């Protein structure tokens, strides 16, 4: 039998004292698509960054075609024909496609014309519609990913590692990417595909390595397995997805949040939202689907008043919010879970109790005779920790000491507490593991069943479909349409997300 | 008038060295906030060695060396120890202010009359200096000005037409991309800071041995900061730095000219302050900047 292309033997990696990879061994063969499946934090990216030379292993060895290799920098990896596309692309936004592709791969004087032509031809040979002189910041994410792939092709990569490549793509773009992966491996090359999505794995992989808690928990051929087995290997236990109760009288319930003709202009004078209108009724979840960066953030921030709107009206339970500032709006009973909890949701150097207090620090809710009532705040936080199954030593624990999932539970609890009538969940499960996702989903549905109105923004279509009563699709700051969740297919929503509309074709 | 323009070009020379130094460094994401101190060390080192050896060449070389040493201290603290660039720069500027005064005392005691040297001679380039008007302005300058004529196009070429330039520009925009391409971000930044130190040291020496022929601890008087501002105003490119430095050089020359002409239209202090006022006005007036995206942010890699 032939020697495998790459073989990892007993790789162990520590970050400070935390173990990220523990005795990881697996191999990838020529012409093979290998899926590296696991939850966030399972150590998938770490092991691949070791193979690519970005991290240095603490123990273990790497073999290529049976030979022991030392890879101490991406330069070494590239010389061996290995390239890796990072989850967050490593492109220079202000530079052109050509500048990005040849960075680090040229010496001395650069003949721009010649390189631009060479890269243009390479792009064409793979059917990529990319202008070598275009600046990265002007390209949509899907094309940026193609630039990354082009970079790998330019280097004549034999093994291409892709870290969560479909996270930023529409379903159609994702299936095109799968097409490319097959074409690439048909030429005898190999691909390692990092993902946490079971569907993708079943669609594209020849073999699957399942990782959990830094260790390999399964090495199976696709034809010998199914999604159920994979999810069990990945999580280590069975998971029951929350069940949504169907709601009969939704249409007759009263409107809680009403957004009419909302338009927002960005600081660069570019319209961010154009004529956005929707209603959310009592006990209803409106899902907003779309590729990241199509106005979702602006919708949320305009509703709570964090960014000014150029025109339009926002009202909550009949009360016009348009002239109110953020604090007044929040006091009417809006909860807001921001997409980026590090930036907008928590103060990592403060305790959980202090984080619970954050948004109400100006009111007198937590005051006793003019001073903070620390005892009551602590008891309240301890209750939250219990109710939400937050893994934390106590209310006094620093937020930064918790895992992402547990931090998110704390923010969710706070916003559920302060959102008496209406809660915005912006990307509530991004970066969480399946257990935490399950918990957050249950919480969202429970709040809906209590009669609260919910705006759910998510780029994960499965999440949108599982939770929403109605679904709005955004593209370039416009609403492409609002649909009952039963009336949309993945196919149709994908087209809408990419800017196609039944009668109008591509939206400008 | 011709003399005024020749003087303006002379006064812009050190600002050009300084702002080009900043252009290189800031393109990799490093604000060299120690530039004022690097200027001062250059002025000091250049003067001391020229005075002791009587050799202007060794003076300029020493200025370059102490500039590099000061920059190395700054680079070590900001690049490798990842400390805040503004705080570090301010600390170093304050430190060298004391150091230069201290070592002047140690070496020369307290002289009764100010120590002076003969500054760099003006070199009349054969033929070219005979061109009417332009010859006097452009080709009757000292050697440092002639060198800077070459540095500007050279810098433009390096930054935009070579692989080194591409790496420098990419490092300030997205160091992660540079890292993933297998290039050492920290070493790139440190080396470019050293280069900035060399250029800044020469700039500083221009004030002491380039035309004044003496050294005082306030000889730089904020001109390092002006070079720093020119880099911003010039949009981080050599051409912008060139025009920016010319404007400030002219402002300085006009200030000196009016002071010495004896005409008292306005208080003298106003003209001394002219470059500084101009800095504020232009910084506020300039609307759009192409700031390198990671300017001032240390590169931290988990490992």
Domains in chain A, CATH or no CATH each: 4-235 (3.40.50.300), 255-346+419-506 (3.40.50.300)
B232 vs A111, B238, B279, B280, B287, CA distance in Å? 29, 11, 10, 12, 11
How far is it, in rounded angstroms, from Cα B184 to Cα B294?
16
Per-residue b or e along B223-252, where b marks 16 or more CB atoms closer than 10 Å to that residue's CB: bbbbbbbbbbbbbbbbebbbebbbbbbbbb
How far is it, in rounded angstroms, from Cα A17 to Cα A403?
15
How far is it, in rounded angstroms, from Cα B178 to Cα B188?
10
A187 CB-near residues (< 8 Å, 6+ apart): none
Of B183, B293, B302, the CB nearest to A104: B183
Residues from chain A contacting residue B170 (CB–CB below 8 Å)? 92, 95, 99, 103
The pLDDT assigned to A29 comes to 94
- CA atoms within a 13 Å half-sphere pointing along the CA-CB vector of A228: 2
Query: Token pair of B259, please?
Result: 């002071």
Do the beta carbons of residue A284 and residue A445 sit within 8 Å?
no
Nearest CA to A157 out of A51, A11, A68 is that of: A51
Tokens 């103060």 correspond to A347
- B56 phi and psi angles, rounded to 5 deg: -65, -35
B257-B262-B265-B266 Cα dihedral, nearest 10 degrees: 70
The pLDDT assigned to A249 comes to 52
- A284 phi and psi angles, rounded to 5 deg: -125, 145
Q: B261-293, pLDDT tens digit by residue?
A: 776 677 767 777 777 787 788 778 776 678 898
Q: Which of B:275-294 have CB within 8 Å of A?
A: 290, 293
Test A53 with B182 for CB contact under 8 angstroms.
yes
How far is it, in rounded angstroms, from Cα B178 to Cα A73?
12
Residue of chain A nearest B176, judged by CA positions: A90
The pLDDT assigned to B288 comes to 66
Q: Output A506 or A23, whichever has higher pLDDT.
A: A23
pLDDT at A428 over 90: yes
Name the CATH topology of B2-111+121-285: ABC transporter involved in vitamin B12 uptake, BtuC (1.10.3470)
Tell me what the mean pLDDT of segment B123-147 comes to: 87
The pLDDT assigned to A402 comes to 82
The pLDDT assigned to A1 comes to 53
pLDDT at A448 over 90: yes
Residues from chain B contacting residue A78 (CB–CB below 8 Å)? 182
Tell me what the mean pLDDT of segment B196-206 comes to: 97
Pick the most confident of A69-78, A193-202, A431-440.
A69-78
The pLDDT assigned to A92 comes to 94
Test B178 with A103 for CB contact under 8 angstroms.
yes
Test B290 with A94 for CB contact under 8 angstroms.
yes
pLDDT tier for residue A505 given thresholds of 50, 70 and 90: very low
Q: A299-341, pLDDT tens digit by residue?
A: 999 999 999 999 999 999 889 998 899 988 988 889 999 988 8
pLDDT at B17 over 80: yes
Do the beta carbons of residue B241 and residue B234 sit within 8 Å?
yes
Q: A475-491, pLDDT tens digit by residue?
A: 999 999 999 988 888 88
The pLDDT assigned to A247 comes to 64
The pLDDT assigned to A239 comes to 66
Q: Which of A:303-342 have CB within 8 Å of B?
A: none
Print the SS3 string covering A51-109: HCCCCCCCEEEEEECCEEECCCCHHHHHHCCEEEECCCCCCCCCCEHHHHHHCCCCCCE
The pLDDT assigned to B303 comes to 54
Do the beta carbons of residue B65 and residue B205 sit within 8 Å?
no
Which of A90, A105, A160 to mutate to test binding with chain B, by most B CBs within 10 Å of its CB?
Answer: A90
Other CB atoms within 10 Å distance of the CB of residue A110: 19
Query: Token pair of A68, please?
Result: 């022991």
The pLDDT assigned to A140 comes to 83
pLDDT at A437 over 50: yes
Test B170 with A90 for CB contact under 8 angstroms.
no
Q: Output A41 or B102, whichever has higher pLDDT.
A: B102
Query: Token pair of A55, please?
Result: 């991290």
Query: Token pair of B163, please?
Result: 């692989």
Query: Token pair of A491, please?
Result: 């196919």
pLDDT tier for residue A508 given thresholds of 50, 70 and 90: very low
Q: How far apart are the first and last CA of chain B?
A: 61
pLDDT at A219 over 60: yes
pLDDT at A248 over 70: no
The domain limits of chain B are 2-111+121-285
pLDDT tier for residue A296 given thresholds of 50, 70 and 90: very high
pLDDT tier for residue A506 given thresholds of 50, 70 and 90: very low
Element (H, E) at A209: strand A207-212
The pLDDT assigned to A503 comes to 54
Tell me the pLDDT of chain B averaged across its residues. Answer: 90
How far is it, in rounded angstroms, from Cα B41 to Cα B99?
9
Per-residue b or e along B168-186, where b marks 16 or more CB atoms closer than 10 Å to that residue's CB: bbbbbbbbbbbbbbbbebb
Test B182 with A56 for CB contact under 8 angstroms.
no
pLDDT at B14 over 70: yes
> 3-state class of A485 per DSSP?
helix
Q: B163-178, pLDDT tens digit by residue?
A: 999 999 999 999 999 9
The pLDDT assigned to A392 comes to 84
ipTM of this complex: 0.87
Tell me the pLDDT of chain A averaged across its residues. Answer: 89
> 3-state class of A159 per DSSP?
strand
Number of H-type helices and E-type strands within chain A: 16, 24
């Amino acid at each position: 039998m032939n020697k495998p292309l790459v073989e990892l033997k007993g790789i162990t990696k520590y970050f400070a004292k935390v173990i990220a990879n523990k005795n990881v061994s697996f191999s990838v063969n020529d012409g093979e698509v290998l899926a590296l499946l696991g939850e966030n934090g399972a150590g998938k990216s770490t092991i691949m960054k070791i193979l690519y030379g970005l991290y240095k292993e603490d123990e273990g060895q790497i073999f290529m075609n049976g030979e022991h290799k030392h890879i101490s920098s991406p330069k070494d990896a590239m010389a061996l024909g290995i390239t890796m596309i990072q989850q967050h692309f490593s492109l220079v936004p202000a530079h052109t496609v050509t500048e990005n592709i040849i960075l680090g791969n040229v010496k001395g004087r650069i003949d721009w014309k010649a390189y631009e032509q060479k890269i243009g031809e390479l792009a064409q040979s793979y059917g990529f519609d990319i202008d070598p002189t275009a600046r990265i910041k002007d390209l949509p994410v899907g094309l940026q990913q193609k630039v990354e792939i082009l970079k790998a092709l330019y280097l004549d990569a034999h093994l291409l590692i892709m870290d969560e490549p479909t996270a930023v793509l529409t379903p159609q773009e994702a299936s095109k990417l799968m097409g490319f992966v097959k074409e690439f491996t048909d030429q005898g090359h190999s691909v390692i595909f990092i993902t946490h999505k079971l569907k993708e794995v079943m669609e594209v992989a020849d073999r699957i390595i399942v990782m959990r808690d830094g260790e390999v928990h399964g090495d199976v051929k696709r034809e010998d397995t199914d999604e159920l087995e994979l999810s069990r290997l990945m999580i280590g236990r069975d998971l029951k997805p929350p069940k949504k109760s169907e709601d009969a009288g939704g249409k007759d319930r009263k409107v809680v949040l009403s957004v009419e003709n909302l338009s927002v202009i960005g600081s660069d004078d570019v319209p961010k939202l154009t004529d956005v209108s929707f209603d959310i009724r009592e006990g209803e979840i409106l899902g907003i689907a779309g590729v990241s960066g199509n106005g979702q953030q602006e919708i949320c921030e305009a509703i709570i008043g964090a960014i000014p709107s150029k025109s339009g009206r926002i009202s909550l339970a009949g009360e016009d919010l348009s002239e109110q500032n953020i604090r007044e709006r929040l006091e009417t009973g809006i909860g807001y879970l921001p997409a980026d909890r590090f930036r907008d949701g928590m103060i990592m150097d403060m305790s959980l109790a202090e984080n619970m207090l954050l948004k109400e620090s100006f009111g007198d809710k937590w005051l006793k005779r003019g001073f903070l009532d620390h005892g009551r705040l602590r008891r309240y936080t301890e209750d939250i920790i219990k109710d939400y199954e937050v893994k934390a030593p106590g209310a006094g624990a620093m937020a930064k000491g918790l895992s992402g999932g547990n931090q998110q539970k704390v923010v969710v609890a706070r916003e559920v507490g302060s959102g008496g009538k209406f809660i915005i969940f912006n990307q509530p499960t991004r970066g969480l593991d399946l257990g935490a996702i399950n918990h957050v989903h249950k919480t969202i549905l429970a709040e809906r069943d209590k009669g609260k109105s919910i705006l759910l923004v998510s780029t994960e279509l499965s999440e949108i479909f599982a939770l929403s009563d109605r679904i709005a699709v955004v593209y370039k700051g416009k609403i492409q349409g609002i649909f009952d969740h039963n009336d949309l297919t993945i196919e149709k929503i994908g087209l809408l997300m990419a800017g196609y509309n039944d009668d109008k074709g591509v939206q400008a | 008038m011709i003399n005024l323009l020749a003087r303006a070009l002379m006064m812009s020379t050190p600002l050009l060295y300084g702002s080009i130094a900043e252009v290189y460094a800031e393109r990799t994401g490093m604000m060299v906030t120690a530039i004022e101190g690097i200027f001062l060390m250059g002025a000091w080192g250049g003067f001391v060695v020229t005075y002791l050896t009587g050799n202007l060449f060794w003076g300029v070389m020493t200025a370059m060396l102490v500039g590099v040493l000061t920059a190395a201290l700054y680079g070590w603290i900001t690049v490798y120890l990842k400390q805040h660039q503004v705080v570090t720069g301010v600390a170093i500027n304050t430190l060298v202010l004391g150091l230069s005064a201290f070592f002047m005392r140690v070496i020369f005691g307290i002289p009764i009359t100010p120590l002076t040297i003969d500054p760099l001679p003006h070199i009349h380039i054969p033929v070219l200096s005979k061109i009417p008007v332009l010859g006097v302005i452009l080709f009757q300058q000292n050697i440092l000005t002639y060198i800077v004529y070459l540095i500007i196009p050279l810098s433009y070429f390096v930054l935009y037409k070579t692989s080194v330039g591409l790496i420098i520009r990419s490092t300030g925009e997205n160091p992660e991309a540079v890292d993933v391409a297998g290039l050492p971000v920290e070493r790139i930044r440190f080396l470019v800071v050293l280069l900035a130190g060399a250029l800044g040291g020469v700039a500083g020496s221009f004030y002491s041995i380039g035309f004044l022929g003496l050294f005082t601890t306030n000889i730089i008087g904020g001109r390092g900061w002006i070079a720093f501002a020119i880099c911003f105003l010039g949009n981080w490119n050599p051409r912008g730095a060139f025009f920016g430095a010319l404007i400030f050089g002219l402002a300085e020359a006009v200030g000196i000219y009016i002071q010495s002409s004896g005409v008292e239209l306005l208080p003298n202090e106003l003209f001394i302050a002219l470059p500084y006022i101009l800095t504020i006005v232009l910084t506020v007036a300039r609307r759009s900047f192409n700031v390198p995206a990671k300017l001032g942010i240390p590169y931290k890699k988990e490992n």
